[in-house]
């Protein structure tokens, strides 16, 4: 049984403590609940200065044929080797990106009582939250977040979006529209790179009926960053994630073999990563890669993760053109609704779930 503490998905197992209030109270120690086992703590040595995920200029996709094919190739290699890349010249306005991040930063700086009106429950996770997973006694991450649905329209509920700052709903509506367009373009690229007709990946995710949601992460300053994580290692359960990172503060680390590479964010770039559902659809040609977030003692950090997901009730399985005699289907079919229940109950835990979907052979 996944939920072995008799908790219901309606309830948190313990009273919720906002990490932001802890950060204001704790001077030189952190509560034990946030101290990670030694093996999970961030390593003290800085990673090689020049190591970074690939940075790809998307304007190449619309240039001369040579430029287009070399851009496609860069994306293909990044998907295979890293599962992560940064994109520049992606078509989303830098002003909109800044405004979106700034608006959410303002939200997290509103008085607690304002934010508490949106306190979430593990049933849908929508709203203001401070933990993932409902296992009693779990070690927690040093972050608060806000989670909301953008698509399908049946799940989009403005009452669950903050009313303040007053521009929040309008800004996020526009941001969501732009990101859905960007993700649609990226789906075509992935399809072409997998040797398929350009609309196959999008269709396999449900065509027009995809899901999209966003988690805004707020990582308060932490007096003992070497003992904890802002977000534990996980792969993203959905199709693809487009992350707007903090432009001032690094924190995202991507697994590369046995190392963790700290992403150096480029101003006005997005960080794109493959999620578990594209790993499944691509029959593991592309891998969703584990990542985690470290925190620091002198700067808070804000990031906006936009999740582009399959329609939630259709079976997701390897695309048939990618199943071959020498590469049989590696995964059994599962709907995204079933799949994400796991992370909702258990919280972030590496890649254990997508690995558990492997077909017995
Ligand atoms: O804050 C970040 O840089 C990464 C956030 C993330 O991995 C997530 O929200 O799933």
The domain that holds 28 is classified in CATH as 2.60.120.330
Closest protein CA for atom 3 of ligand 1: 252
- Domain holding 291, by residue range, is 4-8+18-355
With a cut of 70, say whether residue 6 has pLDDT above it: no
Tokens representing 192 are: 């072409």
Cis peptide before 165 (omega within 30 of 0): yes
CA-CA distance, 84 to 201, in Å (whole number)?
18
Looking at residue 361, its pLDDT comes to 47
Which of 52, 234, 293, 351 for mutating ligand 1's site (highest number of atoms within 8 Å of CB)? 293
**Are the beta carbons of 305 and 217 closer than 8 angstroms?**
yes
7-22: b or e for each residue (b if 16 or more CB lie within 10 Å)?
A: beeeebbeebebbbeb
Binned at pLDDT 50, 70 and 90, residue 47 comes out as: low
Mean per-residue pLDDT over the chain, rounded: 93
Q: List the single range of 14-18, 43-47, 102-106, 120-124 with lowest mean pLDDT.
A: 43-47
Kindly state whether residue 361 falls inside one of the protein's structural domains: no
Q: Which of 249, 350, 244, 251 is nearest to 294 (CA)?
A: 251
* Axis crossing angle, helix 65-81 with helix 168-193, rounded to the nearest 10: 100
Percent of the chain with pLDDT over 90: 86
The total domain count for the chain is 1
Kindly state whether residue 339 falls inside one of the protein's structural domains: yes
**252 C-alpha vs ligand 1 centroid, how far in Å?**
7
Kindly state whether residue 270 falls inside one of the protein's structural domains: yes
Kindly state whether residue 13 falls inside one of the protein's structural domains: no
Tokens representing 165 are: 């700052």
**245 C-alpha vs ligand 1 centroid, how far in Å?**
8
CA-CA distance, 307 to 275, in Å (whole number)?
9
What's the average model confidence in pLDDT over 106-132?
A: 95
**105 C-alpha vs ligand 1 centroid, how far in Å?**
15
Residues with CB under 6 A from ligand 1: 215, 217, 231, 236, 243, 245, 251-252, 291, 293, 303, 305
**Are the beta carbons of 216 and 20 closer than 8 angstroms?**
no
What dihedral angle (degrees, nearest 10) is formed by the CA atoms of 31, 11, 351, 139? 10
Tokens representing 338 are: 């079933």
Sign of CA dihedral 327, 331, 334, 335: negative
Kindly state whether residue 164 falls inside one of the protein's structural domains: yes
Looking at residue 27, its pLDDT comes to 87
CA-CA distance, 260 to 293, in Å (whole number)?
10
**156 C-alpha vs ligand 1 centroid, how far in Å?**
22
Looking at residue 46, its pLDDT comes to 57
CA-CA distance, 129 to 16, in Å (whole number)?
8
Looking at residue 4, its pLDDT comes to 42
**232 C-alpha vs ligand 1 centroid, how far in Å?**
10
Looking at residue 1, its pLDDT comes to 34
- Residue ranges in the chain assigned as alpha helix (H): 19-25, 65-81, 94-108, 112-116, 168-193, 200-204, 276-281, 336-346, 352-356
Phi–psi pair at 85, nearest 5 degrees: -160, 160
């Amino acid at each position: 049984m996944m939920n072995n503490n008799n908790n219901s998905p309606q309830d948190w197992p313990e009273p919720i403590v906002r990490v932001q209030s802890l950060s204001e109270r704790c001077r030189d120690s952190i509560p034990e609940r946030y101290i990670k086992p030694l093996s999970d703590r961030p390593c003290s040595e800085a990673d090689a200065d020049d190591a970074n995920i690939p940075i790809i200029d998307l304007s190449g996709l619309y240039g001369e044929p040579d430029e287009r094919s070399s851009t496609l190739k860069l994306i293909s290699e990044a998907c295979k080797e890293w599962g992560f890349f940064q994109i520049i010249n992606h078509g989303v306005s830098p002003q909109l990106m800044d405004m979106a991040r700034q608006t959410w930063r303002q939200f997290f700086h509103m008085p607690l009582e304002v934010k508490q009106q949106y306190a979430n429950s593990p049933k849908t996770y929508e709203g203001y939250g401070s933990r993932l997973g409902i296992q009693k006694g779990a070690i927690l991450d040093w972050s608060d977040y806000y989670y909301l649905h953008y698509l399908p329209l049946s799940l989009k509920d403005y009452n669950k979006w903050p009313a303040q700052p007053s521009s929040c709903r309008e800004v996020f509506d526009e941001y969501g529209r732009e990101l859905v367009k960007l993700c649609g373009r990226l789906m075509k690229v992935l399809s072409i790179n997998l040797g398929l007709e350009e609309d196959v990946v999008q269709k396999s995710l449900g065509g027009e009926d995809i899901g999209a949601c966003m988690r805004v992460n707020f990582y308060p300053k932490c007096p003992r960053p070497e003992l904890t994580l802002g977000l534990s290692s996980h792969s993203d359960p959905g199709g693809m994630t487009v992350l707007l990172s903090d432009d001032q503060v690094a924190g995202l680390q991507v697994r590369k073999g046995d190392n963790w590479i700290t992403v150096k964010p480029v101003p006005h770039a997005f960080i794109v990563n493959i999620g578990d559902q594209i790993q499944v659809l691509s029959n593991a040609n592309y891998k969703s890669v584990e990542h985690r977030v470290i925190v620091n003692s002198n700067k808070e950090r804000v990031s906006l993760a936009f999740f582009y997901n399959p329609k939630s009730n259709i079976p997701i399985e390897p695309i048939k053109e990618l199943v071959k005699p020498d590469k049989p289907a590696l995964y059994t079919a599962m709907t995204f609704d079933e799949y994400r229940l796991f992370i909702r109950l258990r919280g972030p835990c590496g890649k254990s779930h997508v690995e558990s979907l492997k077909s017995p052979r």
